[in-house]
A and B are shown apart, each in its own frame.
Chain A
Amino acid sequence: MKNKTLFPFLFLLCALLSFAPSRVAAAGGKPVIVGSKKFTESVVLGEIVKGVTQAAGVPAIHKRQFGGTRIIWRALKEGDIDAYVDYTGTLYHEDFAGQHITTMEGLRKKLSTYGVSMAPPLGFQNNYAIAMDPRRAKKLGIRTISDLRRHPELKLGFPSEFLNRKDGWPGMRAAYALPQTPVNIDQDLAYRGLVHGSVDAVVAYTTDAEIDYYHLALLKDDLHYFPIYKGVILYRTDLEKRAPAAVRNYKRLAGRIDTAAMAAMNRAVKIDRRSESAVAAGFLKKTFGMEVAARRKSWWTAFWRYTFAHLLLVLVSLSAAIAVSVPAGILAARHGRLGQVILGAAGVLQTMPSLALFVFMIPLFGIGRAPAIAALFLYSLLPIVRNTYAGLTGIPDGVLESAEALGLPERAKLWRIKLPMAAPTILAGIKTAAVINVGTATLAALIGAGGYGEPILAGIRLDDIGLIMTGAVPAAGMALLMQYGFELVETACVSKGLRLQRTG
């Protein structure tokens, strides 16, 4: 019976969290929230959109590095963000795949059913292309994608998004009848793989900074397989009322960023290591004479922001997990069969890949902290439930029998005997949950919740080990501190009698 109260509780908790500032901010005369995907070009474009929004006198926030096309589209659809830049090819072939939308007009109509509008194309095309080391391509006589058919031994390295989307590898293999089995490689690491020779061909985007930098050869798409990807600003239609000046500026951007300009901005960030906001501000100044303050935050400001966000995720989700799973463990220990159900349910949650769990929370809680906290909460349940159960069921029979024979009522027995005796095991479970939680919370950046995952993602994107360390080292430090903290709690809370007993 009591387990039924658990799920409503969970739901209520997360529902409360979804009223976090980001949701509220989306309504009324609040800032415009611009999103971006987790690759450099998207982040630069996000900065540009934010810049022109601010130039129109509308406050704007840029939430960077959403984990994927589906996630950011959903965020726009649900109103968690107000605008971002997507590509026509992505919309045709992925978001609205199988719906036979082939024209810009058709696309506009489809988008309007979601309350979303599309500004005219920005000018550049970011199409797929297959890139190879030029010397190797020359030696093998490969100039077109069709030529790849003659070399089944070549190792192709593609990111999982390309491997999975219909307009990516599956369609390309069918169109060109290619024999290779590609390996999965992160897009940001692909060029390095190519240069070091661990892969022979990678998929590239025509605006990629590295094509020029590494002097790569692009294979001719001789069958015209790859669709055209024009950059377009998508925005929530209600912006036309909320911030008409900003929308006017989005339309002014039409045709102002050509492929070369986009590639140059990508290069400025990825190779010349300038910040996205500085590059975007430079572009806006040069093109429109707009003065936009580049985001110039000190290392410390950024560090504290990441730390605060990360700590918030961990502390809220962990406290909620403790509040739910200790009672659940007590329940499980008291009622044998129910116990198996509770432990089983928590176990299933734990087997779910953590990233999948984050994504599953989006339909329920939108984008940002709420779904991240919900996912971390679910992920922290098992170690605590299991250890509470183990701690309580491991108490010797003689002790329990003596307690009962003394005439100590059930409640008092729980508080004075059972929980203190199970405390070391329960604390060990909480400690495990905390350490897992701190590590897993780095994934929260993928769904717009910030934290140490933010510099890690940016570091992977920019191939910047230092930046990765900015996130990874404090995350490891936080995990160690948590562990140390719980050890202090243990010495303070666990009776000396139990420690004596354990050491014999």
Chain B
Amino acid sequence: MKQAHANIFSLLNVSKRFGDKTVLKDFTLDILKDRTTVLLGPSGCGKSTILRLCLGLTAPTQGRVLFEGAPIAPGKGDAIRRKMGYVIQDGGLFPHMTARENVCIMARYLKWPREKMAARLDELREMTNFPQDGLSSYPAQLSGGQQQRVALMRALMLDPDVLLMDEPLGALDSIIRHRLQNDLKDIFSRLRKTVVMVTHDIGEAGFFGDKVVLMRGGAIEQAGRFADLVHKPANGFVREYIAAQRGVADVLENAG
């Protein structure tokens, strides 16, 4: 039982500076295995930087970042990253490749047999509700929602242990976003993977997050269950941040 709740990532007293600009200071956070952790907070507070630290795309200025209990050794990054899937806001798809080529790029690089690749692709396509005939399209020919589905398939292709998503739905309109939220939730619960998701949207944070981490200026303001943030805010900032979300209900209320 202890095993299941082990930390997949641990950030221990991490500081990150770019030049003389401090983005994270003495930041400590554990990310639980098989759970969805949501990073929430105002723009520029360091959410994307945390994902990049976890992926080993950038190194901490001070402190340590552990993946499965061990620091990410320089030079071993590629092997470790293949255990992680990463999806960014606009998908980061390779524009010169078709959807199929985008999804299969790593499998092809690792010389998977053709049948294995086709089977995995089919599985993912069904899981993400992506149309069969869209596989031969180039990113420029796909809608925003379809592009995110391709990016998700690409991230999941090697069946990674962790899925890191940086505002994956940020660029989508509300209907598509809603539909994709449902699909994602479905996928997460089916796959039982560790997910770290960055969002601006409080509703989305509550919808996905087993654990919600609310940040400000490179530090944690409150981390815990979404309900705790709403009902037991740790400070004025947390209360204000949650309250700043305008639901349909309060718009109507104010107008009426």
Contact = CB atoms under 8 A, between A and B. Distances in A.
A402 B86 contact: yes
B47 interface: no
Interface in A479-496: 494-496
Nearest to B108: A416
Given A402-B86, A497-B140, A500-B138, A408 B78 contact: yes
Interface residues of B, number: 32
A21 interface: no
A405 B140 contact: no
A89 to B, nearest CB: 66
Interface string A390-417: 0000001011011111111100100011
Interface stretch (B35-43, B87-95, B112-120, B198-206): B87-95
B95 A501 contact: yes
Given A402-B92, A407-B77, A409-B78, A497 B97 contact: yes
B187 interface: no
B95 A405 contact: no
Contacts of A355: none
Contacts of B91: 398, 402
Contacts of B84: 405
Given A416-B105, A495-B97, A406 B140 contact: no
A500 to B, nearest CB: 4
B88 A406 contact: no
Interface string B51-91: 01001010000000000000000000111111010101111
B95 A421 contact: yes
A405 B139 contact: no
A375 B213 CA distance: 63
Contacts, number: 80
A417 B88 CA distance: 17
Contact of A421 (B55, B94, B141): B94
Given A412-B109, A497-B139, A405 B55 contact: yes
B92 A401 contact: yes
A406 B55 contact: no
Given A407-B81, A495-B138, A398 B92 contact: yes
B154 A406 contact: yes
B86 A497 contact: no
Contacts of A500: 138, 140-141
A465 interface: no
B96 A497 contact: yes
B109 A408 contact: yes
B90 A398 contact: yes
Contacts of A495: 95-97, 138
Contacts of B106: 406-408
A171 interface: no
Nearest to A406: B106
A218 B230 CA distance: 107
B98 interface: yes
Contact of B96 (A398, A406, A412, A421): A421
A498 interface: yes
A497 B55 CA distance: 28
Interface residues of A, number: 24
Contacts of A403: 94
Contact of B86 (A405, A409, A494): A405
Contacts of B94: 399, 402-403, 417, 421
A256 B9 CA distance: 99
Contact of B81 (A398, A405, A497, A501): A405
Contacts of B90: 398
Contacts of B82: 406-407
A420 interface: yes
B94 to A, nearest CB: 6
Nearest to A417: B94
Contact of B92 (A399, A407, A494, A496): A399
A402 B81 contact: no
A407 B79 contact: yes
A363 B106 CA distance: 53
Contacts of A399: 92-95
A494 B95 CA distance: 11
Task: Specify which of B55, B80, B89, B138 lies most central, judged by the most chain A CB atoms within 10 Å of its CB.
Answer: B138
A396 to B, nearest CB: 8
A494 B96 CA distance: 8
Contacts of A401: 52, 57, 86, 88, 92
A157 to B, nearest CB: 58
A406 B89 CA distance: 16
Contacts of B86: 401-402, 405-406
A396 B139 CA distance: 14
Task: Specify which of A399, A412, A417 lies most central, judged by the most chain B CB atoms within 10 Å of its CB.
Answer: A399
A498 to B, nearest CB: 5
Contacts of A404: 57, 81
Interface of B: 52, 55, 57, 77-82, 84, 86, 88-98, 105-106, 109, 138-141, 151, 154, 164
7 contacts: A402-B86, A406-B86, A408-B105, A408-B109, A495-B95, A495-B138, A501-B138
Please provide the 4 A-B residue pairs with the shortest distance between their CB atoms, ordered closest to farther: A402-B92, A497-B138, A495-B96, A407-B81
Given A408-B109, A500-B140, 16 more contacts: A398-B88, A398-B89, A399-B95, A401-B86, A404-B57, A405-B81, A406-B86, A406-B105, A406-B154, A407-B77, A407-B81, A408-B105, A409-B78, A412-B109, A497-B97, A497-B140
